[in-house]
Each structure stands twice: as C-alpha cells, then as structure tokens.
Amino acid sequence: MRLVLACLALAGLAACEAGNQVADALARERAKAVVNTVVAQRLPGVNAAPITDCIIDAASAREIVQIASASVTGVTPEVAQQVIGIAQRPEAVQCIAQNSLILLGG
C-alpha cells in the first residue's frame, strides 16, 4: 500500500512540474510580446527580438509574471520603466552588447 501511495505522490509531483513548466513558458511568451513592444517603441527600426531575449533572461520570475500581465491590461508607463530597468542590469547589457556584435557580423 505504501508503494502505491509513493507512486501516486511521485506522479502528482511530476504532473505539477509539467504544469509549472507550461505556466512558465506561457508567462515568458506573453512577457516577450510586451518587452518586444517596448523595445520596438524605444528603438524603432532595430530587430527587437535579440534584445527582448536578453531582457527576459535577466528578469526574475516575479518580474516576468508582472510584465506578462501587461499583455492583457496594456503596457503602462510603469511596465515600460520596469522593462528599461531590467535592460540596464549588467547581465542584460552584456547580453545585448554580445548580440549586437553578432547581428553586425562581429
């Protein structure tokens, strides 16, 4: 009986993990759409996708959820400022610089 309960518990944990991964992926995709909009507005004519990826990678899980919510409510000045703040973090700046060199053929 204990073995059955242990198996059920492990199956439940696996299902929770899979659900968390799906939720994380969905939040990241929605946040990327918001960040891409902010970057495109601030840097018209620039391929925003690599910059967006750097900003998302530098954001915390909480920030990603906050930014993702703007995909429903709309991008406010506060959300845009949050995106800019994340973009100014050293890891984001380094990533953006590296991606810019690659895009320029360097």
pTM of the model: 0.76
Per-residue pLDDT tens for 86-101?
999 999 999 999 887 6
| Domain annotation covers residue 2 | no
Q: Is the pLDDT of residue 78 over 80?
A: yes
Asked if the structure places residue 34 within a domain, the reply is yes
Domain that holds residue 57: 24-103
Percent of the chain with pLDDT over 90: 61
Is the CB of residue 49 less than 8 Å from the CB of residue 36?
yes
Separation between Cα atoms, residue 95 and residue 98, nearest integer Å: 5
Q: Are 66 and 83 in contact (CB under 8 A)?
A: no
19, part of any domain: no
Predicted local distance difference test score (pLDDT) of residue 6: 46
For residue 14, being part of any structural domain is answered with: no
Which of the 8 DSSP states describes residue 79?
H
In tens, the pLDDT along 31-77 reads: 999 999 999 999 898 889 999 999 999 999 999 999 999 999 999 99
- Report how many domains make up the chain: 1
- Whether 8 is in a domain gets the answer no
Tell me, yes or no, whether 40 lies in a domain.
Answer: yes
Helix (H) or strand (E) holding 44, with range, is: none
